[in-house]
Amino acid sequence: MTFGNTIAEMRKVVDFVEKFGATHDIPKGATDDLNLCLDEILNNTISYGYDDQSKHSITVTLSVADGWLMAKIQDDGKPFDPRAPGSAPMRGTMQSRQVGGLGRRFVKALMDEVDYERKRQYNVLTLKKKIVER
């Protein structure tokens, strides 16, 4: 599925994941985890990945094979590898912490594998979630 780089377009991705999960009998917990991660990644890509206000396309491809649910996200935003070390470890209370910096931890905690590569002008991020049988 390909959609525009606006927050309003993100609802299409949620519907896409839910329909894919239902069609392939994927446990709801796995599709919910994937949707949460996609929301975080796509929100950040749309909000911070572009230096202009032009229209851009983001593609999300879903697949399932050998007990794995996989999502590939491709965008032409600034290079960003979410596997790279992030900010310093969390310290202090929720109220005293600066905003941001939790997305990478969040995605790594919910997905079993996170892969990234830069292909020409594109970020290509692959998320993998092991499907636990019901």
State what percent of residues in the chain have pLDDT above 70. Answer: 86
Tens-place pLDDT, residues 27-47: 999 999 999 999 999 999 999
CA distances from 30 to 45, 48, 109, 128 (A): 22, 27, 13, 10
- Rg for the chain (alpha carbons), in Å? 15
Tens-place pLDDT, residues 63-78: 999 999 999 999 999 9
Dig out the tokens for 80 from the structure: 């960003």
Helices (H), the chain: 10-23, 28-48, 103-110
CA 105 from chain center: how many Å?
12
For residues 42 and 56, is the Cβ–Cβ distance under 8 A?
A: no
For residues 111 and 127, is the Cβ–Cβ distance under 8 A?
A: yes
> CA dihedral defined by 7, 8, 9, 13, rounded to 10 degrees?
80
Helices (H), 26-131: 28-48, 103-110
- Of 22-26, 84-88, 105-109, 111-115, the range with the lowest mean pLDDT is 84-88
Whole-structure pTM value: 0.86
pLDDT above 60 for 6: yes
- Which CATH superfamily, name and number, covers 2-87+99-130? Histidine kinase-like ATPase, C-terminal domain (3.30.565.10)
Q: What are phi and psi of 110, to 5 degrees?
A: -90, -25
> Would you state the pLDDT for residue 91?
54
